[in-house]
């Protein structure tokens, strides 16, 4: 008896870290060689010594956390170095140990894995959002090299969520929000549904504790009432499978509380409407049996039209495969059924972890890993062009919540896109060059605009043009990260090139006034000028001029002086202002913009002024704002319309006083249309029983075209007065 008490007290005295180490060794013993386990134990002792004296908020030794992470990965049958990285994943961040020391002690592979998981240091000058974004970005770069990085990170996050109760309330909410926004969707994207469900449940519980408690209470309360119906449905499905000699096994499926809550919010329905759906899974041996089982259940219960999805023939982006159908069961209750093979179920639960879990089995594990790598390659391409980490995170979140549509290229290839994707998204998914030059498309041989949303089964043929380029308005309706990132990158470089070209024209114009040419200036003088202005290259200087950040006349003066370091007096600049106007077409793009206050059109006398960072803004000479500009002699210049190249459609605004009677506006609109002009906007400024005062923005080719339209409108007996708005 005394001997039994001694054993019990020994167990009570055993330190938590030693108990966890034994548990880890037991898990690893199932699949690793003893020499590998010994190496992992050596990593444990190294980590325990490095973290010596450190404790978690719960009070236990810090080493308990990395060992718990390693146990999770051991259950996924992670390889030796992945387990070692899990045990050591915090040593670089939280102890004096360096990456080089880890590489010397263990291997460069382990050191790289640990470094991939380690948070960035020296982020004090950044906001929390930027720091988080930078960490996630760094993690994805490491993931692209080795998928084990994200496995360690997800297991780390899972244990942190399991022990979240020791944290303060604000920290709990912040960590839970980050988990739900970033880590649970990453687990989903990598097909790790078991981990995703746990992260979602723990995240929801921490973020909305009261809502979780209420839903948990109702789930437990409703379970008893449902048991009889569940058993009836399950046995009837199983009997039907047995009758046709199908080797399938039926199992009930419990919805997790987080997904119940999401469905209630998304579909705006009550708890009982969600929980009244009974969910089952049928597990078969082969794909052929899956389709036969589908036929069986459709014969047993009536299927709901439009609610069948075949993810076996068209797997989800994360490799998930299954047949989904909804039936009307006994008592009129809806039944959700998923039919899959046992191998598909393993992959569905474990995702890329299946690569380590079931290495000896079929190729579906490899296909999941290939899909994950393909996704990471896309993300790498996006991160190269993303302006900053916050933009990368925005793009990432777009990709983490996909509901796919499947469309076809004209050659019959399947392209997978998120729900809500447009023709532009499709074009960029095929190739960036096609996206950059698309102008419209044919869907099932019918012409459609670029903003058309795609649906399953469509055949999309993109029409491109050599002159076409991405439009900033596309950003309002594209949904894929690749399209968004490509458009932003193109526009950024396009504006830069436009600014350089405009800067060159402006500088050449000023140099011409003092009988000089830019190409004839001594290169050493240019180098001296760039040094004096502290500018890296001539292109950077020209871009600054084009964007209005530097005055071209000042740069021209400095080039002409013997000493480029000498300052130019402002009075001298003004007195020698070149009177030759800059010729514009009005279609230059982003660095030459037409002011919306006065809407100048070809034929108008115009004036331009430099808006720092944006380029030249062109105003009508009679615009009130241009009078203010002229007082500032330092930043205006004379501009003129090009007689040959100013072509296109330009917006102009007219003010109409009309008789307020039925059909008046329709008559005005048809008159404008008959004059080959489009109406862009109509605003009713004032209205009474007799008169309506309207502002109409219409497109015209030039001043003559506008005058012709105004004359035509004046002849209408409903038009009392008409004027052009110039300010």
Residues tagged active-site: 93-94
* Contact (Cβ atoms closer than 8 angstroms) between residue 300 and residue 240: yes
* Contact (Cβ atoms closer than 8 angstroms) between residue 192 and residue 156: no
Neighbours of 644 (CB within 10 A): 8
Distance CA 580, CA 512 (A): 9
**Tokens found for residue 607:** 């004036």
Distance CA 116, CA 102 (A): 13
H or E element, residue 80: helix 80-87
**On the CB side of 170, how many CA atoms lie within 13 Å of its CA?**
0
For the CA atoms of 17, 19, 21, 22, what is the dihedral angle to 10 degrees? 170
Nearest partner of 321 among 307, 305, 342, 301, judged by Cα: 342
Distance CA 109, CA 79 (A): 12
For the CA atoms of 453, 456, 282, 216, what is the dihedral angle to 10 degrees? 10
Phi, then psi, of 75 in degrees rounded to 5: -65, -25
H or E element, residue 724: strand 719-724
* Contact (Cβ atoms closer than 8 angstroms) between residue 135 and residue 120: yes
- DSSP assigned state of 526: H
SS3 label, residue 268: coil
List the Cα angle 544/550/554 in 5-degree steps: 135
Which residue bears the tokens 């600054």?
Answer: 544
* Contact (Cβ atoms closer than 8 angstroms) between residue 630 and residue 563: no
Phi, then psi, of 243 in degrees rounded to 5: -60, -40
SS3 label, residue 599: coil
Please report, in angstroms and rounded to a whole number, the separation of the first and last CA atoms in the chain: 101
Judged on CB neighbours under 10 Å (0-12, 13-18, 19+), 64 is buried
Residues 680-700 as b or e (16 or more Cβ within 10 Å = b):
eeeeeeeeeeeebbbebbbbb
Nearest partner of 508 among 555, 547, 563, judged by Cα: 555
Distance CA 619, CA 610 (A): 11
As separate numbers, helices (DSSP H) first and strands (DSSP E) second, the chain gives 31, 20
Task: Give bridge partners of residue 310 from the DSSP assignment.
Answer: 323
Query: Do strands 309-310 and 323-328 pair parallel, antiparallel, or not at all (unpaired)?
Result: antiparallel
Nearest partner of 169 among 135, 136, 206, 198, judged by Cα: 206
**Tokens found for residue 147:** 């998928």
Which residue bears the tokens 């869907």?
Answer: 443
Which residue bears the tokens 């382990």?
Answer: 110
Distance CA 458, CA 408 (A): 6
H or E element, residue 415: strand 414-418
């Amino acid at each position: 008896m005394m001997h039994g008490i001694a054993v019990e007290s020994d167990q009570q005295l055993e330190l938590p870290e030693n108990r966890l180490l034994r548990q880890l060794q037991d898990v690893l013993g199932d699949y690793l060689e003893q020499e590998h386990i010994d190496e992992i134990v050596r990593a444990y002792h190294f980590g325990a010594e490095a973290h010596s004296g450190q404790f978690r908020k719960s009070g236990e030794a810090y080493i308990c956390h990395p060992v718990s992470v390693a146990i999770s990965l051991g259950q996924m049958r992670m390889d030796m170095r992945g387990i070692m990285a899990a045990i050591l994943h915090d040593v670089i961040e939280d102890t004096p140990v360096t990456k080089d020391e880890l590489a010397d002690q263990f291997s460069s592979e382990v050191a790289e894995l640990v470094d991939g998981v380690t948070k960035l240091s020296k982020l004090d000058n950044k906001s929390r959002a930027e720091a988080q974004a930078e960490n996630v970005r760094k993690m994805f770069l490491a993931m692209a090299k080795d998928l084990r990085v994200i496995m360690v990170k997800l297991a780390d996050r899972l244990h942190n969520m399991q022990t979240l109760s020791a944290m303060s309330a604000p920290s709990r909410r912040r960590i839970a929000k980050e988990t739900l926004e970033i880590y649970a969707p990453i687990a989903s994207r990598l097909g790790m549904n078991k981990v995703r469900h746990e992260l979602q449940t723990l995240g929801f519980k921490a973020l909305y504790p009261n809502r979780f408690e209420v839903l948990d209470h109702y789930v437990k309360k409703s379970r008893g009432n449902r048991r009889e119906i569940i058993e009836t449905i399950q046995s009837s499905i199983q009997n039907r499978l047995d009758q046709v000699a199908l080797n399938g096994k039926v199992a009930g499926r419990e919805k997790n509380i987080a997904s119940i809550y999401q469905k209630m919010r998304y579909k705006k329905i009550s708890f009982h409407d969600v929980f009244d759906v009974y969910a089952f899974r049928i597990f078969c041996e082969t794909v052929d049996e899956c389709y036969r089982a589908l036929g069986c259940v459709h014969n047993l219960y009536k299927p709901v039209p439009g609610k069948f999805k075949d993810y076996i023939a068209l797997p989800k982006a994360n490799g998930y495969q299954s047949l989904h159908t909804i039936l009307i069961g006994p008592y009129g209750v809806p039944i959700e059924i998923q039919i899959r093979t046992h191998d598909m179920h393993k992959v569905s639960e474990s995702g890329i972890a299946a690569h380590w879990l079931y290495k000896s089995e079929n190729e579906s594990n490899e296909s999941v890993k290939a899909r994950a790598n393909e996704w990471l390659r896309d993300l790498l391409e996006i991160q190269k062009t993303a302006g900053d980490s916050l933009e990368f995170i925005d793009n990432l979140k777009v990709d983490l919540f996909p509901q796919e549509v499947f469309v076809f290229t004209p050659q019959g290839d399947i392209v997978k896109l998120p729900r809500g994707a447009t023709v532009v998204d499709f074009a960029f998914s095929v190739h960036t060059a096609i996206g950059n030059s698309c102008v419209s498309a044919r869907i099932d041989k019918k012409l459609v605009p670029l903003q058309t949303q795609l649906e399953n089964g469509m055949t999309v043929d993109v029409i491109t043009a050599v002159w076409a380029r991405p439009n900033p308005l596309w950003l309002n309706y594209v949904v894929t990260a690749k399209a968004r990132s490509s458009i932003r990158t193109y526009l950024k470089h396009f504006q830069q090139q436009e600014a350089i070209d405009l800067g060159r024209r402006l500088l050449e114009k000023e140099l011409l006034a003092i009988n000089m040419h830019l190409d004839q200036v001594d290169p050493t003088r240019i180098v001296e000028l760039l040094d004096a202005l502290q500018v890296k290259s001539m292109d950077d200087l020209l871009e600054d001029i084009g964007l209005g950040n530097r005055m071209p006349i000042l740069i021209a003066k400095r080039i002409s002086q013997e000493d480029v370091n000498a300052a130019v007096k402002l009075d001298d600049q003004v007195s020698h202002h070149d009177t030759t106007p800059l010729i514009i077409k009005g279609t230059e793009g982003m660095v030459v913009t037409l002011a919306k206050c006065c809407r100048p059109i070809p034929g108008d006398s115009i004036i331009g002024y430099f808006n720092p960072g944006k380029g030249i803004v062109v105003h009508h000479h009679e615009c009130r704002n241009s009078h203010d500009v002229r007082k500032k002699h330092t930043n205006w210049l004379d501009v003129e319309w090009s007689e040959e190249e100013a072509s296109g459609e330009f917006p102009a605004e007219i003010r109409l006083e009309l008789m307020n009677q039925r059909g008046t506006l329709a008559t005005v609109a048809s008159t404008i249309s008959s004059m080959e002009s489009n109406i862009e906007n109509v605003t009713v400024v004032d209205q009474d029983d007799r008169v309506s005062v309207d502002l109409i923005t219409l497109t015209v080719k030039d001043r003559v075209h506008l005058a012709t339209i105004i004359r035509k409108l004046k002849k209408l007996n409903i038009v009392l007065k008409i004027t052009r708005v110039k300010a």
